[in-house]
A and B are shown apart, each in its own frame.
Chain A
Amino acid sequence: MAELSAWNELPIGATVQPAGAPRALTGGWRTGEVPAADVSKCVNCLLCWLYCPDSAITLDGEAFTGFDLDYCKGCGICAEVCPADAIAMVAE
């Protein structure tokens, strides 16, 4: 790295502002499976959106539309919590 900040140039308590989560494309950590949705079964409860530990569930307003795999680590929580069996984990 070229330019590293000195101690007195850093944010207090390592607080990063603005929040940097969208810049971290955690989908790169994924190994194995990805979620696949059968939208005809989806009841739009948004539990997948609520439980996803990153921001891999995409919405149009409040309607489920699918996945942004840049933020999907393949953990499978969305498939686990889906009450309508609309999400399955499949080989990438």
Chain B
Amino acid sequence: MSDLQLLTGGEAVAHAMRQIDPDVVPVYPITPQTPIIQTFAKFVADGKARTEIVNVESEHSAMSASIGAALAGARTMTATSSQGLALMAEVVYIAASMRAPIVMALGNRALSGPINIHCDHSDSMLIRDSGVIQLFAENAQEAYDLTLIAPRLAEHPDVLLPVLVCQDGFTITHSAEPVALLADEAVPAFVRDYFIPHPALDVSRPTTQGPFAMPDYYFEFRRQQAAAIEAATEAFEEVAAEFAFLTGRPYGVIEEYRLDDAARAIVALGSTAGTVKDVVDELRDAGEAVGLLKITSFRPFPAAAVTRALAGVKTVTVLDRADSPGGAPPLRAEVANALYGSGCELDGAVYGLGGRDLHPADIRAVFAGATSSHIGLRGEPCPV
């Protein structure tokens, strides 16, 4: 069934898009997302997908056009990074509130300034509270697989929300790895036909979409939106189980890596999880009780699963690839909330901002009990 190819994360996602064959893709290029849409546009030009690509004038327009298309009744995908997501942010909130099941590939890149094109997660964290689902891939295979899972999750009747599939800029988007692709014909059967309850172009059932909500109703609509994203944890497990049946590749909202009896654990998002796994293997071979908790679904944050996975771990270190100046880094804040009252010792560090590498030696130092609030920073760190 599967066909192993040497692909970058960007190319792998473009293949997923070709196989999904969305109706509409409004998109604006930006590094390091560009290879995704460039590769996909070539597929469309070569007749390998029937998608209408809308070459919009900005990311604000890309998301606006995506909302229109998705609510009209067209399966819609887009892609962006960093400043593109920042420009889009206003409309991302509206996409979530209008419950538009748009799938977006995100090549994670540091926000300006100073301007930078390399990976960190500050762009994702900018829209942390927008109400969109955010799934983080560890490598190109996961970026491909999560992109196939994403439409089913976005369009799940209990969910109906945008889904972002996040992959680390350059580290994943531009690095080639062997990727197992599904057979082309298996994908439409898995993703199924697009369905939303009230397509705007159904003229036999006219609707008003995106109305004004005054103080008497705004709060209720926000609560409804929160309930939808909360339902996405269970919906993800349901869709992932079906995906695992098809591919043999299981996914969860978290991945527990050698956490059994671990005295010390690291919590991380994205490609860093791969590096941590190598170090965990090395230290486990040396008899040390260490493990990793990888968060695949950052939004919704699976707090109950995190609490269960880390129960019994003595010391937890959360690695954040984004900071929150003047406050707790975002992943650490989530884990702290999940572990409150559990008795785990919790610390954390910010690392890798603007594409700074995190080396295995840095991870060994964390497992050895080093207490640095900023890994890889020159000079005296600020308190976290």
A contact set with B: CB distance below 8 Å: 1, 4-8, 10-21
In Å, the complex CA distance between A66 and B206 comes to 25
Contacts of A14 in B (CB 8 A): 97-98, 209-211, 213, 217, 221
Is B216 touching A19 in the complex (CB atoms < 8 A)? no
Q: Across the interface, which residues of B come within 8 angstroms of A10, CB to CB?
A: 217, 220-221, 224
Report whether B208 and A19 are in contact in the complex, using a CB–CB cutoff of 8 Å.
yes
**B contact residues vs A (CB 8 Å cutoff):** 97-100, 160, 197-198, 205-211, 213, 216-217, 219-221, 223-224, 227-228
B208/A16 in contact, CB under 8 A: yes
Question: Given contacts A1-B216, A4-B216, is CB(A15)–CB(B207) below 8 Å?
Answer: yes
Contact B213 A12 (CB under 8 A): no
Q: Which residues of B contact A21 (CB under 8 A)?
A: 208
The answer to whether A16 touches B211, judged by C-beta atoms less than 8 angstroms apart, is: yes
**CA of A16 to CA of B217, assembled, Å:** 13
| 25 residue pairs from A and B, CB less than 8 Å apart | A1-B216, A4-B216, A5-B217, A7-B219, A7-B220, A8-B224, A10-B221, A11-B198, A12-B160, A12-B197, A12-B198, A13-B100, A13-B160, A14-B98, A14-B211, A14-B217, A14-B221, A15-B98, A15-B99, A15-B198, A17-B198, A18-B205, A18-B206, A19-B207, A21-B208
B212's closest neighbor in chain A, by CB?
A: A14
The residues of B that contact A15 with a CB separation of less than 8 Å are 98-99, 197-198, 207-209
Question: Nearest CB to that of B97 among chain A residues?
Answer: A13
Residues on A with C-beta less than 8 A from B219 are: 7
Q: Chain A residues with Cβ under 8 A from B97's Cβ?
A: 13-14
Given A7-B224, A8-B227: A13 in contact with B208 (beta carbons within 8 A)? no
List the A side residues contacting B99 at CB < 8 Å.
12-13, 15
| Cα A72 to Cα B18 with chains together (Å) | 48
Expressed in whole angstroms, the minimum distance between the Cβ of B219 and any Cβ of chain A is: 8
Instruction: Please name the residue on chain B nearest to A6 by beta carbon.
Output: B220
Q: B218 → chain A, closest Cβ, in Å?
A: 9
B376 CB → nearest A CB, Å: 43
Closest 10 CB pairs of A and B: A13-B99, A7-B220, A19-B206, A16-B208, A7-B223, A17-B207, A15-B198, A19-B208, A7-B224, A13-B98
A88 to B52, CA, bound (A): 43
Tell which of B97, B198, B205, B219 has the most Cβ of chain A within 10 Å.
B198
Interface contact A18-B220, CB-CB below 8 Å: no
Residues of chain A with a CB closer than 8 A to B209's CB: 13-16
Complex CA gap A4/B209 in Å reads 20
Task: Choose among A6, A16, A18 the residue with the greatest number of B CB atoms under 10 Å from its CB.
Answer: A16
